[in-house]
């Protein structure tokens, strides 16, 4: 059987047939893929469900890989994700999808087999960006960290006691790796091309705090410097790294933490709007084709998705966030088996966390859109604070260091486009919080002029978007 | 038992670290670390932690480890059980 | 609306046994200015939002003088017992709470409460053993009071023999948390002040003893503690110790009593608990939602005007957060008036939320779980002898003053 193409086909019973005995294929068997599968069953989908994943392991949780696993308190193969429910799926693990035929509705697998679908969910996520020089990347002692296997290999090397660990890139992943190394008592150097760690995600002011945090924990932190080359010995083992300031480091272990690459190559030539920045989809998670037309049988969720968010100027956001993967998978799954009027937009407010050097860093909103920053509570010097980012006179994001209890309040401020700087008095307002300072992002976003969009309602059941046309 | 904590929801209330200290620990004042699996001897303390979490952030499953919910293979791609998938490209 | 209608109704003893219809009426106006009285917040999301709102202060010194007159007379300028962290805002709150946490829980003492399970079980078993040969008890006096008092004395390092002393002080101080507008304020204030002074002197002496001869207890650790935040000043120690002693048992008495009362009114659930003591874990959460020992938080105040649910609460106004009403809000909990220990997604407000969430919550949970499971397991055919039972006067810390229970016998205790 096959559901009729097109969103208007519900009246003819095709949606009921799809829900009863249609074929749904999910490409990507990690967090988003698993949660989508569970949601489909929760929603009453009783047809066939196939999960295709290139890794051989059942869906597992990645955040512990850069923390507990590197520390050796949890084995890399023991982070399997718990299930919310049984899903009765056909699993095709260890099998990469290599192509998509939109017209024939078939996913091609490595090896040539084709899997037909009535609805497809793309949740192929991202992979670690490799070191750009393949020969150097192949040196023994050069690692990336994305998969459970990466983590297991890296853990073995850390346990063997390297002379010094080089972490290339001071983003969240690099910083967490450095934190684990210090906790293990290993000498570690972090090389960051920007002026401070975390600067790309949180700006220069917070970056300075992160830099001091790292140095206080014994990290040899080198900022505004790049690694220009990795050098091996005769046996192909890493022994030295060369830096752009002309210095060299004797290291036998390097972790490349330069961000991620979206897994979209398999969609090349499929006619889907997929590229290096991800797969574009609408707020209902339906993929766009290359013409910019929305499809009705192909959905996208998780790290690989790019989706417009009404609160953030309808910009297409790509979020490598755990919580986004879950929320978007739920919305995508719901919409895959729901008639048009019952479909929901994915209105998740971006949120992430990182634990490093004993500090819990959390953020909501889109800090990178922030022009200014106000330390609304606490103090930078104590490394316990709440920072609020402003964009065109409204609150656009917030970050906390060990003050997560307050984050909900600032999420509401973002949702309701509260004015920035917040004039209100709060508890724990310090001299730091008297006036905003430039958030100091290396590459500030361009301003746009548009209407105001806010989210209203406290209860998740009565959340709605309020659109206020631009004035004047 | 497999478990995962939604650390977006987690607000560091630490009820789990009090009630199930063998599975959940605080690193610093509010960063939570946990063991993503627990054997039966920890069942009681984990149940206490799950129920006590003020933000409902702990997800626990009791399904057997070997994906019992998988449907039988369709013959086209080898056994359906992902743990032993024999399809092309198995690592 | 006549003057302070709801305030009077809430404090009116006639509503003590069942305040919930009153709360349901209140929820029709999520944030209600009770005429000259405080702003009453009664719906879940609004209460939850305010508990996480940094514009709302817990420090009574931020109250408007006029609004302050309406509030509890407790802890006005009193040099012998300065405000505990309960009534402070960050950063002072955070510093004192962190220091108090040092010997109590994670990250520094993560196993203390967990490792008390055996001791708690022995105390509970001993108390129930004492029921043998009787066919009737007062659950409050014979069980729900002595259990947490014994626990907090051991934990804190307060001699159990001094209980008659601090019991009287605690009763007086706790009664001052009852915002009864009809009570004789001056008379009550005097009594409370005397009780506070005497409790402070008692604690002060005990602290000096622990300074000279430290033990394994929390008080000794607090006196000698030397964490990253330094040591508490003597007056801070006195306030913190007094808070832990009083809060450490007063609310748990009500939690256990409310729990047993609810079970006796739901014999099917009591039977289930008898058959499976593991049910105690989710069941206690449901008791905390359904009959929370702390009904409302009567002393928050905005540092600046706060717009919420169509109302502007002005700076300095008195704000009451009616937790027990939020717990019965049908917009948050389906079928909220049903007692359902299998309820999922039970993020009740029984312990509050946000930075002031109940400090002793993990201990209270364990105590209530063990207590209710043991009572359900060992009492044969237990039944209420009076329903509703006589309640305490207090509208804030609500619970029966006595809970007479009849039973046919006591089953044998578990082998040690």
Give the containing element (helix H, strand E) for A408. helix A407-415
Subunits close to A (at least 3 CB pairs below 8 A): B, C
A258 vs B: CB within 8 A? no
In a domain, A24, yes or no: yes
pLDDT value at residue C288: 98
A209 phi, psi to nearest 5 deg: -65, -45
Residues of B with CB under 8 A from a CB of A: 1-4, 6-8, 10-12, 27-37, 59-61, 63, 65, 67-71, 73-74, 76-77, 80-83, 85, 87-91
Q: How confident is the model at residue B80 (pLDDT cuts 50, 70, 90)?
A: very low
Query: B47, C278: Cβ pair inside 8 Å?
Result: yes
Q: Residue B70: what pLDDT?
A: 58
**Which residues from chain B sit within 8 angstroms of residue A79, using beta carbons?**
36
Q: By the 8 A CB rule, do C301 and C60 touch?
A: yes
CB contact under 8 A, C351 and B54: yes
Q: Is the Cβ pair C52, A408 closer than 8 Å? A: yes
A285 and A218 share one domain: no
Question: Cis ω on the peptide bond leading into residue A153 (within 30° of 0)?
Answer: no
- For chain A, list residues whose CB is within 8 angstroms of any CB belonging to chain C: 376-378, 384, 386, 405-406, 408-409, 412, 423-428, 458-459, 461
Test C110 with B48 for CB contact under 8 angstroms: no
In a domain, B87, yes or no: no
**Same domain, yes or no: A177 and A89:** no
A459 vs C contacts (CB less than 8 Å): 45, 331-332
Residue A470 pLDDT:
52
CB contact under 8 A, C53 and A424: no
Taking the CA of residue A432 and the nearest CA in chain C, the distance in Å comes to 14
Q: How is residue C142 annotated by DSSP? A: I
Question: What's residue A144's pLDDT?
Answer: 97
Residues found in chain A: 472
Q: Residue B91: what pLDDT?
A: 24
pLDDT, tens digit, for every residue of C107-148? 999 999 999 999 999 999 999 999 999 999 999 999 999 999
Contacts of C362 in chain B (CB under 8 A): 15, 18-19, 52
Q: How far apart are CA C313 and CA C49, in angstroms?
A: 14
Write down which residue in A207, A235, A258 finishes a domain: A258
Which pLDDT score, from 0 to 100, does residue C415 have? 59
In a domain, A2, yes or no: no
Q: Does A109 share its domain with A166? A: no
Tell me the chain C residues in contact with residue B14 when contact means C-beta distances shorter than 8 Å: 105-106
pLDDT for residue A302? 96
A322 in the same domain as A386: no
CA nearest to B2 within chain A: A82
Sequence spans of domains, chain C:
5-410
ipTM, 2 decimals? 0.93
d(CA A176, CA A274): 30
Per-position pLDDT tens, chain A of length 472: 444 444 444 568 999 999 999 999 999 999 999 999 999 999 999 999 999 999 999 999 999 999 999 999 999 999 999 999 999 999 999 999 999 999 999 999 999 999 999 999 999 999 999 999 999 999 999 999 999 999 999 999 999 999 999 999 999 999 999 999 999 999 999 999 999 999 989 999 999 999 999 999 999 999 999 999 999 999 999 999 999 999 999 999 999 999 999 999 999 999 999 988 899 999 999 999 998 899 999 999 999 999 998 888 888 888 889 999 999 999 999 999 999 999 999 999 999 999 999 999 999 999 989 999 999 999 999 999 999 999 999 999 999 999 999 999 999 999 999 999 987 799 999 988 889 999 998 754 433 334 445 555 555 555 666 655 554 3
Taking the Cβ of residue A19 and every Cβ of chain B, the question of whether any pair is shorter than 8 Å is answered with: no
Contact A111 B87 (CB under 8 A): yes
The CATH fold assigned to C5-410 is Cytochrome p450 (1.10.630)
Residue of B30, B35, B85 lying closest to A92 (CB–CB): B85
**Residue A121 and residue A11 share a domain:** yes
Nearest to C51 by CA among C350, C409, C253: C350
Question: d(Cα C227, Cα C1) in Å, to the nearest integer?
Answer: 53
DSSP assignment of A253-317 equals EEEE---EEES-GGGTTSSBSEETTEEEB-TT-EEEBTTSPEEEEEEE-GGGEEEEEGGGTTEEE
**Closest CA of chain C from B29, distance in Å:** 7
CB contact under 8 A, A55 and B68: no
Give, for B6, the enclosing helix (H) or strand (E): none
| Pair (A159, A232) in one structural domain | yes
Facing B54 at nearest CB: one of C278, C284, C347:
C347
* Interface probe, candidates C51, C90, C306, chain A, greatest A C-beta count within 10 A: C90
Residue/partner pairs of C105-109 with CB below 8 Å, 24 or more apart = C105/B14, C105/B17, C105/B18, C105/C362, C106/B14, C106/B17, C106/B18, C106/B21, C106/B25, C106/B26, C107/B17, C107/B25, C107/B26, C107/B27, C107/B28, C107/B29, C108/C227
> What is residue C144's DSSP assignment?
I
**Residue A222, domain extent:** 134-258
Tell me how close the Cα of B34 comes to any Cα of chain C, in angstroms.
Answer: 13
Which residue is it, tokens 């023994």?
Answer: A140
Q: Looking at the complex, report in whole angstroms how far the Cα of residue C63 sits from the nearest Cα belonging to chain A.
A: 14
| Nearest residue to A35 via CA among A285, A264, A244, A287 | A285
CA distance B28 to chain A (A): 5
Domain enclosing residue B15, as ranges: 2-61
Q: Name the residue facing C362 among B19, B25, B28 (closest C-beta).
A: B19
Query: Measured between CA atoms, how close is B58 to chain C, in angstroms?
Result: 11
- A163-195 exposure pattern, b = at least 16 Cβ within 10 A, e = fewer: ebbbbbbbbbbbbbbbbbbbbbebebbbbbbbe
Number of structural domains chain B divides into:
1
A16 and A57 inside one domain: yes
Q: Is C342 exposed, middle or buried (0-12, 13-18, 19+ CB in 10 A)?
A: exposed
What average pLDDT is seen over chain C?
92
Mean pLDDT score across all residues of chain B: 77
Q: Where a domain ends, among A203, A235, A258?
A: A258
Q: Which residues contact A312 (CB under 8 A, 6 or more apart)?
A: A366, A369, A396
Question: Which chain C residues touch B if contact means CB-CB below 8 Å?
Answer: 98, 105-107, 110-111, 113-114, 278, 281-282, 284-285, 345-347, 351, 353, 357, 361-362, 365-366, 369
C21-44 pLDDT, tens digit each = 999 999 999 999 977 789 999 999
pLDDT of res. A471: 43
Mutate which of C90, C94, C106, C284 to disrupt the B interface (most B C-beta within 10 Å)?
A: C106
Segment C284-293, tens digit of pLDDT: 999 999 999 9
Residues of chain A positioned with their CB less than 8 A from the CB of B68: 86
B46: chain A residues, CB-CB within 8 Å: none
> A216: buried, middle or exposed (CB in 10 Å: 19+, 13-18, 0-12)?
exposed
| pLDDT at position A328 | 97
Residue A210 maps to which CATH number? Answer: 3.50.50.60
Task: Look up the CATH number of the domain holding residue B51.
Answer: 3.30.70.20
The reported pLDDT for the residue numbered C99 is 95
pLDDT at residue B75 greater than cutoff 50: no
pTM: 0.92
Chain A residues with beta carbon closer than 8 angstroms to that of B67: 58, 91
Q: Is B12 on the interface with C (CB under 8 A)?
A: no
- Chain A residues whose CB is inside 8 A of the B4 CB are 61, 81-82
Q: Which of C45, C48, C303 is opposite residue A425, by nearest beta carbon?
A: C303
From B81, which residue of chain A is nearest by alpha-carbon distance?
Answer: A91
Contacts of C54 (CB under 8 A, 6+ apart): A376, A377, A386, A406, A409, A426, A427, A428
Could C54 and A412 be called an inter-chain contact, meaning their C-beta atoms sit closer than 8 Å? no
How high is the pLDDT of residue C79? 65
Among the three residues A223, A258, A293, which one is the final residue of a domain in this structure? A258
Count of CB pairs separated by less than 8 Å, A with B: 149
* pLDDT band, residue B79 (cuts 50/70/90): very low
Average pLDDT over residues C138-167: 96
Chain A residues whose CB is inside 8 A of the C96 CB are none
Q: HSE (CB half, 13 Å, CA atoms) of A324?
A: 28
Task: Assess contact for C381 and C318: CB atoms under 8 A.
Answer: no
Of C114, C345, C351, the CB nearest to B19: C114
Query: CATH number of the domain that A376 lies in?
Result: 3.30.390.30
Report the residue of B8, B47, B71 to disrupt the A interface, i.e. the one with the largest count of A CBs within 10 Å. Answer: B8
Which positions in chain A touch B8 (Cβ < 8 Å)?
321-323, 351-353, 362
What CA–CA distance (Å, rounded) separates C247 from A97?
Answer: 60
The chains in contact with chain B, meaning 3 or more Cβ pairs closer than 8 Å, are A, C
Q: How many CA atoms lie within 13 A of A460 on its CB side?
A: 9
């Amino acid at each position: 059987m096959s559901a009729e193409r097109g969103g208007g086909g519900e009246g003819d019973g095709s949606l009921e047939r799809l829900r009863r005995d249609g074929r749904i294929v999910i490409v990507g068997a990690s967090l988003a893929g698993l949660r989508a599968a569970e949601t489909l069953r929760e929603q009453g989908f009783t047809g066939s469900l196939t999960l295709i994943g290139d890794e051989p392991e059942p869906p597992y949780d990645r955040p512990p890989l850069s923390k507990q696993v590197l520390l050796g308190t949890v084995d890399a193969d023991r982070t399997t994700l718990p299930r919310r429910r049984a899903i009765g799926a056909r699993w095709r693990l260890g099998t990469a999808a290599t192509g998509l035929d939109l017209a024939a509705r078939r996913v091609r697998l490595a090896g040539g087999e084709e899997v037909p679908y009535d609805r497809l969910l793309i949740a192929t996520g991202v992979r670690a960006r490799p070191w750009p020089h393949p020969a150097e990347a192949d040196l023994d002692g050069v690692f990336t960290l994305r998969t459970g296997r990466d983590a297991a290999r890296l853990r073995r090397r850390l346990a063997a006691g390297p002379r010094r660990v080089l972490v290339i890139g001071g983003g969240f992943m690099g910083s967490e790796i450095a934190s684990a190394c210090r906790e293990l008592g290993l000498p570690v150097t972090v090389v960051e091309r920007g002026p401070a760690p975390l600067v790309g995600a949180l700006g220069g002011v917070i970056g300075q705090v992160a830099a001091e945090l790292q140095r206080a924990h014994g990290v040899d932190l080198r900022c505004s410097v790049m690694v220009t080359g990795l050098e091996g010995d005769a046996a192909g083992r890493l022994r030295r790294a060369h830096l752009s300031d002309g210095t060299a480091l004797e290291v036998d272990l390097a972790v490349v933490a330069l961000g991620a690459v979206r897994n979209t190559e398999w969609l090349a030539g499929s006619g889907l709007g997929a590229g290096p920045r991800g797969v574009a989809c609408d707020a209902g998670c339906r993929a766009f084709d290359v013409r910019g037309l929305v499809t009705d049988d192909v959905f996208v969720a998780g790290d690989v998705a790019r989706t417009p968010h009404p609160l953030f100027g309808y910009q297409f956001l790509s979020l490598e966030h755990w919580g986004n993967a879950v929320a978007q998978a739920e919305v995508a799954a719901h919409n895959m088996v729901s008639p048009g009027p019952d479909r929901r937009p994915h209105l998740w407010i971006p949120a992430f966390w990182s634990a490093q050097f004993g500090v819990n860093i959390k953020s909501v909103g889109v800090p990178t859109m922030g022009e200014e920053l106000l330390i609304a509570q606490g103090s930078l010097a104590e490394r316990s604070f709440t920072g609020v980012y402003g964009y065109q006179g409204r609150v656009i994001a917030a970050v906390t260091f060990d003050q997560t209890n307050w984050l909900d309040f600032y999420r509401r401020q973002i949702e309701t486009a509260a004015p920035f700087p917040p004039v209100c008095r709060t508890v724990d307002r310090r001299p730091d919080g008297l006036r905003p300072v430039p958030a100091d992002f290396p590459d500030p976003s361009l301003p746009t002029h548009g209407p105001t969009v806010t989210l209203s309602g406290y209860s998740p059941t009565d959340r709605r978007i309020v659109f206020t046309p631009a004035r004047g | 038992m497999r478990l995962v904590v939604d650390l977006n929801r987690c607000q560091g209330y630490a009820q789990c670290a009090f009630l199930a200290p063998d599975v959940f620990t605080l690193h610093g004042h509010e960063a939570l670390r946990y063991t993503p699996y627990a054997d039966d001897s920890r069942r009681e303390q984990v149940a206490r932690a799950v129920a006590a979490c003020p933000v409902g952030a702990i997800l626990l499953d009791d399904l057997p480890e070997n994906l019992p919910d998988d449907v039988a293979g369709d013959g086209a791609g080898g056994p359906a059980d992902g743990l032993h998938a024999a399809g092309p490209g198995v690592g | 609306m006549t003057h302070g209608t709801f305030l009077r109704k809430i404090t009116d003893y006639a509503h003590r046994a069942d305040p919930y219809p009153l709360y349901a009426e209140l929820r029709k106006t999520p944030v209600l200015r009770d005429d000259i009285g405080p702003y009453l917040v009664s719906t879940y999301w609004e209460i939850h939002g305010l508990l996480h709102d940094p514009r709302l202060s817990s420090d009574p010194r931020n109250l408007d003088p006029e609004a302050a007159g309406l509030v509890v007379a407790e802890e006005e300028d009193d040099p012998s017992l300065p405000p505990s962290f309960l009534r402070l805002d960050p950063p002072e709150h955070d510093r004192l709470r962190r220091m108090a946490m040092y010997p109590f829980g994670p990250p520094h003492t993560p196993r203390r409460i967990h490792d008390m399970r055996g001791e708690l079980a022995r105390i509970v078993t001993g108390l129930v053993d004492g029921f043998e040969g009787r066919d009737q008890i007062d659950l409050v006096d014979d069980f729900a009071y002595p259990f947490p008092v014994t626990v907090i004395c051991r934990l804190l390092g307060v001699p159990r023999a001094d209980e008659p002393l601090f019991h009287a002080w605690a009763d007086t101080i706790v009664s001052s948390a009852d915002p009864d507008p009809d009570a004789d304020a001056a008379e009550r204030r005097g009594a409370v002040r005397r009780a506070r002074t005497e409790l402070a002197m008692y604690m002060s002496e005990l602290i000096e003893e622990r300074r000279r001869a430290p033990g394994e207890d929390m008080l000794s650790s607090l006196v000698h503690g030397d964490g990253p935040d330094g040591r508490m000043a003597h007056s801070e120690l006195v306030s913190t110790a007094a808070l832990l002693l009083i809060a450490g048992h007063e609310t748990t008495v009500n939690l256990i009593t409310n729990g047993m009362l609810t079970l006796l009114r739901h014999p099917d659930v009591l039977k289930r608990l008898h058959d499976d003591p593991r049910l105690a874990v989710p069941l206690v959460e449901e008791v905390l939602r359904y009959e929370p020992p702390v009904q409302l938080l009567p002393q928050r105040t905005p540092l600046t005007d706060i717009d919420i649910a169509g109302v502007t609460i002005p700076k300095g106004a008195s704000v009451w957060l009616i937790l027990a009403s939020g717990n019965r809000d049908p917009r948050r909990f389906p079928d909220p008036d049903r007692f359902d220990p299998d309820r999922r997604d039970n993020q009740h407000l029984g312990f509050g939320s946000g930075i002031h969430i109940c400090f002793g919550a993990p201990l209270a949970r364990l105590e209530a779980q063990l207590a209710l499971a043991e009572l359900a397991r060992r009492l044969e055919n237990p039944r209420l002898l009076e329903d509703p039972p006589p309640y305490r006067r207090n509208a804030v810390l609500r619970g029966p003053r006595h809970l007479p229970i009849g039973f046919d016998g006591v089953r044998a205790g578990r082998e040690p």
